[in-house]
Structure 1
Amino acid sequence: MSDNNAAALLHRDSIIIDGLIIAKWDRALFEDMAKGGLTAANCTVSVWEDFQATIDNIVEFNQLLRDNNDLIRPVHTTQDILRAKEEGKTGIMLGFQNVHAFEDQLGYIEIFKKLGVGIAQMAYNTQNLVGTGCYERDGGLSGYGREVVAEMNRVGVMCDLSHVGPKTSEEVILESKKPVCYSHCLPLGLKDHPRNKSDAELKFIADHGGFVGVTMFAPFLKNGINSTIEDYVEAIDYIVNIVGEDSVGIGTDFTQGHDQAFFEWITHDKGYARRLTRFGEIINPKGMRTIGDFPNLTQALLDNGWPASKVQKIMGGNWVNVLKDVWGE
C-alpha cells in the first residue's frame, strides 16, 4: 500500500476534530467540512455579541442545522461526536470566543449549555466582567469571574484561554476544577506575538490537566503568509514536546469565506471601538488553504515520522477525551 493510501485510510478511519473554526457558515462551508473528513468542530457563534445577539446567532445556526442535516448534526455530548462519525456527518459544537454573552447573569451559562454551547473563551483580546484579554494590561480573574468558572464547571462548559491574558489564564487554570484549554494557539518560542503562548504557559496548563489546540493562523506562524503545512507541523511538534502527546489537538482558527469587514470587526474592541491589532494579508499555510485540505495534515504528520496512533490522538482522539472529562458524557 502506498504512503498516500495509508494516510487516506487513516484519515477516513479516525475521529477528526477542529477545536476552533470561525468561518462564514453556509452550505459551501459544510460541504468543505465533509470533503475534509471532519468528524466535529467547535464553531464560534459569539465574539462581541451580548446575550440577545448571541441567541439570534444560535437561532440562525439552528436553521442551518435543519437545512443541512444531510451534512451536519448538533453535538451536546461526546457520544454525539461518535454518532457523527458513524453517520458520515460533521458534528457541530457551538462555542464562544468571549463570555460577554453571559453578561452579569450566572444563570445564562446553563441556558447556553442547554442550547449546545460546550466551550467558551473567558475573554476576547480585551477586558470584560470576568477577566482580561491578551492585548491589554492584565488585571486577572475577577470575583465574578470565579463564580463564572465554577458555574461553567458545574454545567459542563469548557473554559478556553486562547485570547486571554497570562494572569487571567493562570488564575482560571488554578480556579477550575475541570480541564481548561487553549483551543487555538501557537508557541511564542517560534514566533514572538502577543497571541502566542510561552513554553512556561504551555507547560503550566498541561501540568494542571489542561489541553492545547494548535492553530495555523498565518500571522502567528514563524513564516507568516509564506508558511506551509510543514511549518504548522513544526509548531504542533514543538508543543507536543513540551506538554506531551495526550494533551494536544488541532484548532485551526479557519476564517474561511469571510471578507475584510469581518477582520475589521474582530480586530477592534467590541467590534467597533479602538483598533487592537492589524493582521495584514491572511493566507493559510500552503497545503492547508481550506477545510477540505484536512487530509493533508494527517499525511504531513505521518511524513514527519509520527506513528499512526499518535496522529489519531492529535487529529481528534485527545479532544474527545478532554471534552468527555469536562462535559461528563
Structure 2
Amino acid sequence: MQDREAAAIHAATLTLDTHVDIPWPNTPNPEGETQRRVDFQKMRRGGLNAVIFIAYLPQGPLNEAGHAEAAARAEAMLRHIRGTAGGDRDFCADAASLEAAKAKGHLGVVCAVENGYAMGEDLSRLALWKSLGATYVTLTHNGHNLLADSAIPRQDLGDAEMRHGGLSALGRAAIAEMNRVGLLVDVSHASRDAMLQAAAASRTPVVATHACCRALCDHPRNLDDEQLDAIKDVAGLVQITAVSGFLKKGREGVNNPPASVADYMDHVDHAVRRIGIEHVGMSSDFDGGGWLSDWPDAARSKALTAELLRRGYSAREIGLLWSGNFLRLMRNAALAARA
C-alpha cells in the first residue's frame, strides 16, 4: 500500500536534483544509456524530472592564464549543457519553465557554474553566465580563489589555512553582481567564515547546493548548526547531498561501505528539526563523487520519496524538499534582479 502511495507522490512531484557534474572535455550528449550516474534515460526511469548540470572548474593557479583557461571552459560547458535540450527536454532558466516542463511531461535541463575561480577579476563574466542560463555560481571549490577562502585549502597550490579571512573585497563585489543579475549564491565548498559572511552580504537567500550536517558527520565540507541557523536567518536553503564521506564517518584504513538512503535522510531529518522544512532540500552530486548504496544513480530516485514517506513526511513536505524550496529561491533571485 505504501509503495503505491510513494509511487503516486513521486509521479506528482516536480523532482529536481540541484547538483550533477558532467564529464569534460569531449562529453557526448547523454541521449541513450551511458556509464554516467545521470543520463536522460535514467532520469526517465527514475522519475527525476529535472537536473542542474554543472560547469565545474577545478581550482588552478591564481594568474591571468589560469583564469582565462577556466573562463573559456566555463562558457563552453554552459553552451554544451544548453545544447543537450531538444525534443522532450526543455532548457530551463527559471522556476516557471521548470514547472512548465513538468506539466508537459518533459525533462528539465538546467545549468550552473561551480567555482568562481572562472570569473577571475572580471565581474562581467557573471552576467554572461546568467545570459547562458546559469542558475547559480558556487563561490569556491577545493582551494582558495580570489573571491573567498575554501573549506578545503589546497596545499599543492600553496594554500595557507586561509587567504582572505572569509570573503575578499572582490568576493563581496561578485555577490553584489550576482544579486544584480539574478544568480543564486552557492556557499558549498566555502570556508565557515566565508559562508557566514556570504549569507550576511547577499541581498537574496544563499543556498548550499550540496552539503550535509556537521553535527552528524564532522567533515570540513559540512555545515555546523550555527551555519544552518544562518541559512534559516536569511531564508536560505541547504541541499543535503549523497556523498558518503559527508554522511557518515568511516574507519581509516578500512574499505568502508557506502552510505545508504537511511543515512542520507538522517541528515535531512536533522536539518529539518534544526531550521524547518522550508530551508532544506535534496541533491546527489552524481558524477562528482555522490552516490548511495540504494541510490546509485538517477534511475533509483524513487527511493528518496519512499523513505521520506516512511518517515512521516507529507506529500506537500516531500514536494518542498524535492523542488519547492529551491524554486522559491529561484523566484526570489529573479525578483531581486528586477528591483
Q: TM-score, normalised by structure 2?
A: 0.84
Give 1:92's aligned residue. Answer: 109
Show structure 1 runs of 5+ residues with no match.
257-281
Correspondences of 1:170-185 after superposition (within 5 Å)? 170-185=196-211
User: Is 1:37 the counterpart of 2:47 in the alignment?
Assistant: yes
Out of 40, 61, 83, the residue aligned to residue 81 of structure 2 is 61
Of residues 81, 86, 96, the one that matches 1:79 is: 96
Query: What are the Cα deviations for residues 100-124 of structure 1, in whole angstroms up to 9, with x where unaligned?
Result: 2222111111111010111100111
The C-alpha deviation readout for 1:59-95, integer Å capped at 9, x for no partner, is 3223322xxx234221111111011101222212211
Say if 1:34 and 1:89, in contact at 8 Å, map to a contact too.
Answer: no
Query: What is the alpha-carbon root mean square deviation over aligned residues?
Result: 1.7
Write out aligned runs for 1:230-269 (5 A).
230-255=262-287
Q: What SS does the aligned partner of 1:44 have?
A: strand
- Out of 121, 124, 140, the position equivalent to 1:107 is 124
Checking the alignment, whether the CA contact within 8 Å between 2:115 and 2:140 is kept in structure 1 is yes
**What CA distance in whole angstroms lies between the structure 2 residues aligned with 1:288 and 1:100?**
31
Distance 2:88 2:304 in 1: 22
Aligned-partner Cα distance in 1 for 2:84–2:56: 16
Superposition deviation, residue 286 in structure 1: 2.3
Change (3 A) 1:61 1:226: closer
Contact kept in structure 2, 1:121 and 1:159, CA below 8 Å: yes
| Cα offset, 1:39, TM superposition | 2.4
Alignment of 1:1-329 (within 5 A): 2-24=1-23, 26-27=30-31, 28=33, 29-48=39-58, 50-65=70-85, 69-136=86-153, 137-138=161-162, 139-222=165-248, 225-255=257-287, 284-328=291-335
Secondary structure, counterpart of 1:111 in structure 2? helix
Distance in 1 (alpha carbons) for counterparts of 2:88 and 2:244? 28
Runs of 4+ in 1 over 6 A off after TM superposition: none
**Offset at residue 298 of structure 1 (A):** 0.4
Distance 1:245 1:26, change over 3 A: same
Once the two structures are overlaid, the 10-residue window that deviates more, 215-224 or 130-139, is: 215-224
Distance 2:82 2:236 in 1: 30
Structure 2 Cα separation of the partners of residues 311 and 98 of structure 1: 30
Gaps of 5+ in 2: 24-28, 34-38, 59-68, 154-160, 251-256
AA aligned to 1:254 is F
Give the corresponding residue for 2:158: none
In 1, distance between residues paired with 2:261 and 2:56? 28
In the alignment, is the contact (CA less than 8 A) between 1:30 and 1:71 conserved in 2?
no
Equivalent residues of 2:241, 2:290 under 8 A apart:
no
